[in-house]
Each structure stands twice: as C-alpha cells, then as structure tokens.
Amino acid sequence: MEETKSYYLYGFHPVDEALSSGREIEKVIFRQGLEGEQFRSLLSRLQQANVPVQFVPSERISKLEKGKKSQGVIAYLSQIDYTPFETALDRAIAKWRVGGPIPLFVMLDGVSDVRNLGAIARSAECAGVSGIIVPAKGGAAINAEAVKASAGALLRIPTSRTQNLRIPIYTFKEYGFQIVAATEKSDKLIYDVDMCKPTVIVMGSEGKGISDSVLALCDEKAKIRMVGEIESLNVSVACSIIMFEAVRQRL
C-alpha cells in the first residue's frame, strides 16, 4: 500500500456503493445545507453503520474536490485494514503461551491529532506492542498523514477500531489483563506499576485526557514524574515513555 495515496470517494453513488460493499470508511463530510431524498437516505445509512459524519462549508468541499464532482459529499476511506481486537488479542496470547513477549496493548481515548497518532504507532511498533485500539468516533483519522508520521508502522502493527472502548476493556479484563491509565490525577508513578504482566496502556485526548467512563474501569492510574515547570507532555511523548518503561521492566 502506498503511504501517500489518497483515499477519497466523491458523490452519493460511489459512497453508497462503498458502504454496501463493506469498505472501511473513516468519515463522510457533507456540504452544509444539503437536502433531498438521496441525501437523507445516505445520511441514515451512515448513521446506522456508525460512520462519523461532518457538515462543512462549501469552501472546504471545493478545496477537497480537486476537479472532481462531489455533489457535496466526500468520503474518507481507511488506508489500513483494521484488525478485530479479539483477533489481535488471541494472537498476542498465543505468542505469549509459546514463549513470546508478554502482551502489551495501547488504547487511545480520543487522541485527535493525526501526527500524534502516527508518532504513537511508530513508538509502539519499536516497543513491540501487540496492538493499538482506537474509537470509531472522536479520534484521529488514519489517513496518509498519519501513516507517514508513523514511518509505516500503521501498516505493520495491528490496529483495531471499536464503537465503545469499554467493550474491549471488559474483554481484556476477562483474560487477566491490567488496564493502566496515564493520568496526572494520581499520586502513583508509572514506574511503580508492575508492567511484567499482560497490560493495556490507556492514553487520553490532548485536551481532556481520559474520559470518566473509561477511567472508571482502569485498574491502575499513574503519572510520569515531572520536574520542570510545564505541567504536561505531548501525548505521543508520554505514551512512548510509558511503553518503554514496560520494555525496561520486562527486560
């Protein structure tokens, strides 16, 4: 797969066909003010399929059309093949049982910057992470920029998308994983968390952090020791520090 290839669909019929064929659609944007039966039908189908939808000014549509006739609707197709998180989990456990690495997953709760997503994926691949889990809505799109920022890691590491992050958390818990939240709302340091067991590291959004509903399900809440005056790290940097703390402990 080419990292720089554009994955867009323009117009009602192509988007409808992609939806019917089961193509992975990151999101669909509509020109503000669209009306008509064709628009309402497609919007309804997208909502039923839980595909993120956004309404934008006509100026933005014009910039993205690049000579194409969009009819005011443009779909962003995924540039990777998502892996069901159950499949990624089964593979990680199977490898562990035959002497492979202890499973380590990263869950991103609302990380919205594609460059941060790409940087996290790059570090995750280098740290031997078993997989990345992202929400279907509210997170960064896995587009050409994200793949490029990951140095191709998003094409290598299993990435799963879920409608509700709590569902994989419950599944991980059933398999004995600990869920570790990276949050400054804790007195415990990440270095005091035992990472030598199957672990899921949860990182929150750049602005709001981890959502309350996800945080409530985490077994451990820990922070990185800070000694400077700035109170927080970039989310991709923080995630890298925590992942490689797990690597350090396991070595």
H/E element holding 203? strand 199-204
The pTM of this model reads 0.83
Report the CATH number of the 85-250 domain.
Answer: 3.40.1280.10
Where in the chain are all domains bearing CATH 3.40.1280.10? 85-250
For residue 81, the SS3 value is coil
Report the CATH number of the 8-77 domain.
Answer: 3.30.1330.30
Q: Residue 94 corresponds to which tokens in the numbers above?
A: 């199977």
CB 146 within 8 A of CB 140: yes
H/E element holding 10? strand 8-10
Tens-of-pLDDT digits for all 251 residues of the chain?
333 345 789 999 999 998 998 888 888 999 999 999 999 999 999 999 888 899 999 999 998 888 888 999 999 888 888 999 999 999 999 999 999 999 999 999 999 999 999 999 999 999 999 999 999 888 888 888 888 999 999 999 999 999 899 999 999 999 999 999 999 989 999 999 999 999 999 999 988 899 999 999 999 999 999 999 888 899 999 999 999 999 999 99
Who's near 125: CB < 8 A, 6+ residues apart? 150, 153, 156, 157
Instruction: Quote the crossing angle between the two packed helices 12-20 and 37-48, to the nearest 10°.
Output: 30
Where in the chain are all domains bearing CATH 3.30.1330.30? 8-77
For residue 200, the SS3 value is strand
pLDDT at 17: 92
Q: Using CA atoms, how far apart are residues 233 and 218, in angstroms rounded to an integer?
A: 21
pLDDT at 23: 83
